[in-house]
Structure 1
Amino acid sequence: MGATTPGLGIAPAAHAQTTAADAEPAALTELVDEVDIPYEKFTLDNGLDVIVHTDRKAPVVAVAVWYNVGSKDEPEGKSGFAHLFEHLMFNGSENAPNDYFQYLQEMGATDYNGTTNFDRTNYFQTVPTPALERALWLESDRMGYLLGAVTQAKLDNQRGVVQNEKRQGDNQPGGLIFYEIVETLFPAPHPYDHTPIGSMADLDSASMEDVRDWFRDKYGPNNATVVLAGDVSAAEARPLVEKYFGPIARGPVNNPAQANIPELAEDVRTVMRDQVAATSINKYWTAPGISDRELTALTVGAQILGGLSSSRLDNALVRDEKIAVGVSGGNYAFQRVGILTVSATAAPDADAALVERRLNELVDQFIAEGPTEDEVRRAATSSVADTIRGLEQVGGRGGKAVTLASGEVLADDPDFYARQFEILATLTPAEVQAAMQRWMTRPAMTLVLEPGERDADYEEAASVAASDGGSASEAADDEITVTQVRPAPPIASIAELDFPDVEHRTLANGMTLHYAMRDAVPATYVTLSFDAGSAADPLDKRGLESLTLGLFEEGTTSLSSREIAETGERLGADVSLGGGADRSSFTLSALSANLVPSLELLSDIVRNPAFDSAEVERVRAQQITGVEQELRTPASIAARTAAPLIYGENSPYAGPGNGTVASLRSITRDDITGFKNRWIRPDNGEVFVVSDRPIDEIVTALDAVFGDWQAPTVAKGEKAFATQPKEAEASRIVLVDRPNSPQSYIYGGQMTPADARDETYVDFLNANNALGGNFLARLNMNLREAKGWSYGVRGAPLTNEKAVAYTVRAPVQADRTGDALAELIRETSEFLGTNGVSDEELTRIVTAEIGELPGQFETSGAILRAMQTNALYGRPDDHYERLANRYRAQTTESLDAAARAAIDPDRFVWVVVGDAEIVAPQLEQLGLPVERVEMGASE
């Protein structure tokens, strides 16, 4: 391993590649000191806690509202109710009676949603600074003025939506195992004895009185925390918070459920079967919750065991013994309890019993020996680096607002993250070993998931069993109380996007550098982008690009795959490979303090891959297992089936990008080295950098590391875009039978003449925002919000460099497949015919798109992706700053013209993946030809 085969054109760089592995990274204590979220906290007279963090880097503010209630607080017989109520909180309040997503779009909000877990319910959005007052009005209205707007019809509809969310999860391979885990580890009547999604029967039983009682008991301001993070100070925020939240009366004193940490009486071993590609062995132990002193030690121990790229399980089972294609390890800590877990997925030719035995032996060995100092430091550095990168964002699911809110609500301390980092900076191997010995020597649950016909039944809703053909939208609505005693405050101005200036340089090796400065966090992001992508695959070697990229990190001529992983972890650097259909990219996320050695690591990976034969076979086995799993997953089955029908079998975009089982088996090492030499070369690529360091420093570092990189003598690759696919003459249905599926997955598509380089393309995108592009689009509002037949529907163009396809994706409950497809066809035909974009839709869409611009480019990663997109489509550097004026000039006529020029309602291929016994009779009533194919027929 590590030696290159002579004569294949892969030579090491002229300079020795030792800097990365030998470099002394920045001290962990210094990195921990970089993580700081200063805040001010105050409490209103009604008990509402308010936390404000100021971050002026962009004109946006994250608003997070957390309620100290989750599924653990549900009474018996009401499982899933906290989550159901979260859905109802988006359906309008007394002074804001419309769907909340409408108000959020009017504000130009980004990163908005709500979530429920065992312990809490939260609502979050990031809004332009001028819209902050409107956001506080909106959040306070559902906190204090909700019940008059909740009707039986809304309850029935959202019950259906949640039940389809449950079906969507249950329908995935392995989708039933979490129920088994929770019921085994936390047997009833433990507060954590059921999942947040709940049971169909309990959801069926939820009544309006339940809704009213839950709101009164759980959603008072004294059970909530509001966090504002971003372009606002506490002095600016306090009067606004007091104005909108202050008048809301206290609710009952809420006492979140307490819970002990149960211990199994003895080891439990359960075997389940499902549509999975390989056997996985999963072990679980109960553990303490987040406020326990041992939290950090347990998390680090789980990372070392199975979470890091260089984990003990990865090294032994995947790299050395090659009996597993994947492993994992984690510590999932909730407020009162936690779950420690490790798992391994057996390689195709491995004995699952051997994998299980070795997994147990390695766990026992780790507990007996404990980790090394280097392992603890690497795990800690990786954790700190991830946190530093994540905290560039003020909102969303993992930014500063979430960090402060979770600490306050779950640990009674907004600085909880800082206390954990203090522990992390000084954590010793002995502390990790002691924690693992205390908790992982207790009885464990082993769950073996084997390929085969599912032997556990998913639970169906009574509403399906007793269906009479009606829908949620047909229920008689109650009177909605719209008081309007609290009118919405105006949004006085519009926050304009200030996209960073982009500079361009030519590096010593001839590559063009595109650079932008962002100094919000001490991090540097570097992407090497090559004109390849899955479109570069030969027709008979689909998956070659993906397999080749997967091998670059699996050993160079100087470092083994283990040494690559360990080096990256010590530096806090992460290298990700991907790029999609048109480009192959290597992206480095580095702490700027460790930039040069991180670049050395990236250079070694890109320039000197060993492509060791044993590693080729190992990664090939992993990718084949992944493909076989895709052939069992509804969305992937649909996409794989649809692509050649839409693009034509010989199109470079027909894929599949990950290949087929047959194509992957046919790929040789010569194919892999040939791909690298033809495509991954300096004369076929560009460099994109976003950093807090000045451009001259970046150029100096890149030239020092990549300056002597020269292209090989072989010719660059060429893609086979010679022939254009023949458009479908008429719509048709292709049915893929997937027995025992509680949902069907509908995937419609067609080629379009649209071109992303054309200035009218943004008209097409905004027209689609009325049809299928977002939550409020017609397709979603019909099948989700009106009918309750789906958890979510989207229509979207698949934008590639050489072709644009239009697709519609709709997972729907099985008994409504035909009805749902009929509605998709009707909505699309009417939109493209006589019922185009309305004035109301135009106003909403344009307002939203302009308002969202500042929030879309808050992070370095977003800037980096935008720069690459501009380069791909030949757009100017200030493309995104120009968009606001383009949007303002749009009319209903311009949007209708763009949509009608691109999409033909009579040329869709509709792929339906579902239980043919249930679905086929429904589809036959639609008047379109129906062709039945087997799963994986194209493989």
Structure 2
Amino acid sequence: MQFKPLLTASALALALGTGAPAFAQAPAANVAASTADAAPAELSTLVDQVDIPYEKFTLENGLDVIVHTDRKAPIVAVAVWYNVGSKDEPKGKSGFAHLFEHLMFNGSENAPEDYFQYLQEMGATDYNGTTNFDRTNYFQTVPTPALERALWLESDRMGYLLGAVTQNKLDNQRGVVQNEKRQGDNQPGGLVFYEIIKALFPAPHPYDHTPIGSMADLDSASMEDVRNWFRDKYGPNNATVVLAGDVSADEARPLVEKYFGPIARGPVNEPAQAEVTELTEDVRTVMRDQVAAVSIDKYWTAPGITDRELTALTVGAQILGGLSSSRLDNTLVRDEQLAVSVSAGNYAWQRVGILNVSATARPDVDEADVERRLDELVAEFIAEGPTEDEVRRAATSTVAGTIRGLEQVGGFGGKAVTLASGEVLADDPSFYARQFEILATLTPGEVQAAMQRWMTRPSFTLVLEPGERDGSYEEAAGVAEAAGDGDPAEEVTVTKVRPAPPIDSVAELDFPEVQHTTLANGMALHYAQRDAIPATYVTLSFDAGSTADPADKRGLEGLALGLFEEGTTTMSSREIAETSERLGANISLGGGADRSSFTLSALSANLVPSLELLSDIVRNPAFAQSEIDRVRAQRITGVEQELRTPSAIAARTISPLIYGAESPYAGPDTGTVASLSAITREDITGFKDRWIRPDNGAVFVVSDRPLAEIEAALNGVLGDWQAPAVAKGTKSFDAAPAAPAESRIVLVNRPNSPQSYIYGGQLTSVDPRGETYVDFLNANNALGGNFLARLNMNLRETKGWSYGVRGAPLTNENAVAYTVRAPVQADRTGDALAELIRETGEFLDTRGVTEAELTRIVTAEIGELPGQFETSGAILGAMQTNAMYGRPDDYYERVADRYRAQTAESLDAAARAAIDPDRFVWVIVGDASVVEPQLEQLGLAVERVEMAGTE
């Protein structure tokens, strides 16, 4: 289950759910057009394309059911939303809605095992549950043949849960949630959200506590609380079921009635009313934490999602600090260079919201100057209001961003979320359409009026400074030892026998046909057609990546890629951002260790001008020295923040220990302060000339437009691009890898850490192109690769010492490492590492893959294939992976037969050939005063190092 305590989504995105509507196709793009004469599609045209038709019916017991049909793939998203969240918790029971969400995954009367087992048996993808202030939801996307099984499973925990809830389960999940809280609190700035809520919504306001709750309240949760919460909050008349995908209302209704209809109605939760509070005067708080630079955040209370001004406030925040071309970006980051980053957002829940503007100061700038300019810019914006162009660009970016997520039926942001959030929070499944109607006609005056109304009230300012964290962590007191497994209280009581329906068939993946051709300049073009949405995805992939960095210039590739969008020979960085926003285009740069890529996500109606923009960025970067200095400062600040973040500290420490310090894979990919400081403009231009060139790259496209149109458009913008005279870059992977004779521990001291971050790893001999690679992957699915794997089930579900543990291969083109990552509570670090060593050793020696694990894993891998490739982005990524490893275009259709041929013996052989349990390097990032004494029991050599300040 996932809980995100920080503010991470705009109010409009929350309202829309980035849902996946049906579309009316836009007219074909004029492939002969240029940027100058191909005007972007009208906003009203884009808005008119968005539609999510649905049918709604209500069962006699009050359960609301919404069905949207989308036949593009043999999958159905199943979402169950309960009208209850943390704002509905009584005093002294904070965190209980979220704790109960965890319990809902621990088995019901007729499905008593962990629910992830049943989800994997169905071949489910995109499954999880979340809790926020206003609602609790559970969701999964399943192959069509498994829909009836999914409805049986969801209805069993809605109607028949309590007989399976035991004291052991409650105590275990209490521990898991408390470790989830520790994990969030342990991050730099992890305590900030508590201060925001306390300042803006003081008790006894319903929003006066975070959904994660307090340690003391979690300790106090009792079985009686569980029973009462279930009876009072989880009745069918307090829930909404949404089905989106390969199903019609006529097909769905008898199944929903069969499984949910007999469940008795219960009380209806009336969501707590909550006023939008107003501070009587400005409030200011200064906090310190392990952060690299000072950040200044200002917060104002705002109305909830159903307020008429929601869209205007969201657009205003985008213009102020959300867009790449925002006013804060242009002034504080680009022009005056007082800040390394800025942001602004409107974060709204059902009853209340928060408006926020933020700036992170350059380390060499007086924070008072940054705050003064931040205040001045906010005041100017409120006084002047936005321009018509700013409003249109913000609106177009919002619509385009929504359309980019429109293929997905489920998950965190698909069609099911859109319809369910509208129904539960706004009493209207079509709430997204109401917001779009406002968006299409929004005026600058409306935006200015909303900002004037809400951002001229008293504000809460929070300054977060580098330094030793103030105060101490709240820690759990612990609970009494739970009953043993033989205790009658731990037995499941079945009040009504409900056999699981069979899954009679398997949905097969239909991977789109991949076509290949060559552009006029010799670049290979790999193309697949998907017409679910009117969008085109284009990746220019170059054989570079961070492994192209010279050993003394780590971070060069990342710094160079970060500069391509910061100005061309004809456009400034501001003009690039504004053009992209007008087009509704998104260009992202990255690629990883082995490839450097430029990926364009374009509305097909704006394809040609979007390609023109992409071409200009790739071919004509200016690399102005002023931009180099600015972006370098940002990346150095990022590196310094990594050196304070547990997971990043562990990764930077372990990589050279796994690969060998001289290996191109040793990193750090983002560089060091010293290496970034040493990079010159000549290094950057040299990187472009050697690596970002047509004879070193290929083009990958997924589009609703036919190949002939795509090829003509690409030739129009790239056909005359030729390689420079200098030689192509070369890489060397000849450096000797690290090969420890025996396992050892490196302890990185990070004082005052409530959790320790354990990261183990070793280099393997696995070949990602080899026949046995998928055997290795599925062997790991038994050991560490998913929720049900042994490492996670032990430390999370049995011991309750961690929020989540994973073992996973890090697969690169020329090296495959095996890693284990486990954030664990500090006082159990030694015990947890002992368990990781024991589990791994036994798995590779005497307790290999069982027949039950083999059946579950193979069934899940085959069943998940249609859901894994639901979106164009997933297809685009698969095409690039296939090309890198020399796989056939239909690899993912063939792999199902490989899964079917696997045996426990073949998986064991692959794992044992790859992993040596006695050659792990274990890096632990934690408070050495707490952790080091615990490590004596392990009998391994321990090297203690202090956490670096800078490098």
Please classify the TM superposition score into its range, dividing by the shorter chain length. Answer: over 0.9
- C-alpha deviation, 1:22, in angstroms: 6.4
Give SS of 1:729's match: coil
Pairing partner for 1:345 from 360, 369, 376: 360
Aligned position for 2:193: 178
- The match for 2:217 among 176, 188, 202 is 202
Matches within 5 A, 1:495-514: 495-514=507-526
* Whole-angstrom CA distance in 1 between matches of 2:494 and 2:751: 47
Matches within 5 A, 1:701-712: 701-712=713-724
Cα distance per residue 1:818-849 (max 9 Å; x no partner): 00000000000000000000000000000000
Match of 1:487 among 491, 499, 522: 499
Distance across 2 between alignment mates of 1:557 and 1:484:
72
The answer to whether the Cα contact below 8 Å between 2:643 and 2:949 also exists between their aligned partners in 1 is no
- Name the SS for the 2:105 alignment partner: coil
In the alignment, the residues of structure 2 paired with residue 456 and residue 182 of structure 1 have an alpha-carbon distance, to the nearest angstrom, of: 18
CA shift digits 1:376-396 (9 cap, x unpaired):
000000000011111110000
Whichever residue aligns with residue 269 of structure 1, its letter is R
1:482, distance to aligned residue in structure 2 (A)? 3.6
Partner secondary structure for residue 683 of structure 2? helix
2:641 aligned with 1:641: no
Contact 1:473 1:787 (8 Å CA) reproduced: no
Measure, in 1, the Cα distance between the counterparts of 2:376 and 2:571. Answer: 28
Given that residues 530 and 685 in structure 1 are in contact (C-alpha distance below 8 angstroms), is that contact kept between their aligned partners in structure 2?
A: yes
CA distance in 2 between partners of 1:479 and 1:505 (Å): 63
Q: Hey, what does 1:668 align to over in structure 2? A: 680
- 1:539 alignment partner, SS class: coil
Whether contact under 8 Å (1:160, 1:472) holds in the other structure is no
3-state DSSP class of the match of 1:481?
coil
1:770 is aligned, of 765, 768, 782, to: 782
| Structure 2 counterpart of 1:291, one-letter code | T
Aligned to 2:328: 313
1:700 maps to 2:700: no
1:621 to 629, 633, 638: 633
Q: Which amino acid aligns with 2:149?
A: R
- 1-side partners of 2:701 and 2:366: how far apart? 46
**2:761 aligns to what SS in structure 1?**
strand
**Structure 1 residue 720, shift from structure 2 partner:** 2.0
Residues 1:273 and 2:288 aligned together: yes
Task: State the one-letter code of the partner of 1:646.
Answer: I
Displacement of 1:451 in angstroms is 0.2
**2:344 paired residue among 329, 352, 356:** 329
Aligned to 1:801: 813
Structure 2: how far apart are the matches of 1:67 and 1:898? 44
TM superposition shift of 1:723: 2.3
Match 1:228 to one of 218, 243, 248: 243
CA contact (8 A) 2:160 2:495 kept: no
Task: Name the residue aligned to 1:393.
Answer: 408
Distance 2:328 2:77 in 1: 39
Give the TM-score normalised by the residue count of structure 2.
0.96
Alpha-carbon separation, structure 1, partners of 2:715 and 2:205: 60
Contact 2:483/2:490, CA 8 A, preserved across alignment: no
Residue in 1 that maps onto 2:306: 291
Are 2:948 and 1:925 equivalent residues in the alignment?
no
Residues in 2 aligned to 1:448 and 1:692: alpha-carbon distance in whole angstroms = 47
CA shift at 1:68, angstroms? 0.5
State the distance in 2 between where 1:906 and 1:472 align.
36
Pairing partner for 1:62 from 77, 97, 107: 77
| Structure 1 stretch displaced more, 365-374 or 471-480 | 471-480
Match of 2:754 among 730, 742, 748: 742
Are residues 1:411 and 2:429 paired? no
Structure 1 residue 475: Cα displacement? 10
Partner of 1:9: none
Identity among equivalent pairs (%): 84
- Conserved? CA contact 1:575–1:602, under 8 Å: yes
Report matched runs for 1:102-181 at 5 Å.
Answer: 102-181=117-196
Q: Structure 1 pair 475/166, CA: closer, same or farther in 2 (3 Å)? A: farther
- Who is 2:592 aligned against? 580
Q: Tell me the SS of whatever aligns to 1:462.
A: coil
Amino acid corresponding to residue 386 of structure 1 in structure 2: G
Residue 38 of structure 2 contacts residue 608 of structure 2 at CA under 8 Å; is this kept in 1?
A: no
Query: Residue 325 of structure 2 contacts residue 577 of structure 2 at CA under 8 Å; is this kept in 1?
Result: yes
Q: Higher mean Cα deviation, 429-438 or 725-734?
A: 725-734
On the 8 A contact 2:167/2:482 being kept in 1, the answer is no
Q: Is the 8 A contact 1:200 1:459 kept in 2?
A: yes
Aligned to 1:3: none
Q: Deviations over 1:440-489 (max 9, x none)?
A: 000000000000000132210002xx89xx79988966222145610000
Residues 295-694 of structure 1: pairs in structure 2 closer than 5 A: 295-463=310-478, 478-482=490-494, 485-694=497-706
SS at 2:81's partner residue? Answer: strand
CA contact under 8 A between 1:21 and 1:601: conserved in structure 2?
Answer: no
Q: Which residue, out of 780, 783, 807, partners 2:795? A: 783
Distance in 2 of aligned mates of 1:34 and 1:121: 30
> Quick one: which of 825, 828, 831 aligns to 2:837?
825
Distance 1:475 1:267, change over 3 A: farther
Structure 1 residue 936: deviation in Å?
Answer: 2.8
Residue equivalent to 2:44? 29
**Cα distance change on mapping 1:241 and 1:155 into 2, 3 Å:** same
Q: Once the 2 structures are TM-superposed, how far is the Cα of residue 130 of structure 1 from its aligned partner?
A: 0.2
Could you list the per-position Cα deviations for residues 13-72 of structure 1 after superposition, in whole angstroms to 9, with x for gaps in the alignment? xxxx99436641000000001111000000000000000000000000000000000000
Q: How far apart in 1 are the matches of 2:182 and 2:618?
A: 43
Residue 757 of structure 1 aligns to a residue whose secondary structure is: coil
Tell me how far apart the structure 1 counterparts of residues 624 and 37 of structure 2 sit (CA, whole Å): 23
**TM-score normalised to the size of structure 1?**
0.97
Give the one of 812, 822, 825 matched to 1:813.
825
Count of residues in correspondence between the two structures: 919
CA shift, 1:643, in A, is 0.1
CA offsets 1:637-667 (integer angstroms, 9 cap, x no match): 0000000000000000000100001100000
State the AA in 2 paired with 1:707.
Answer: G
Runs of 5+ unmatched residues, structure 2: 1-31
Displacement, 1:728? 1.5
Asked if 1:722 corresponds to 2:734, the answer is yes
**Which residue of structure 2 aligns with residue 852 of structure 1?**
864
Which residue, 875, 882, 885 being the options, matches 1:870? 882
CA–CA distance in 2 between the matches of 1:456 and 1:699?
Answer: 61
Task: State the secondary structure of the residue aligned to 1:541.
Answer: coil
The 3-state SS of whatever aligns with 1:540 is: coil
Aligned to 1:905: 917
The AA in structure 2 aligned to 1:912 is I
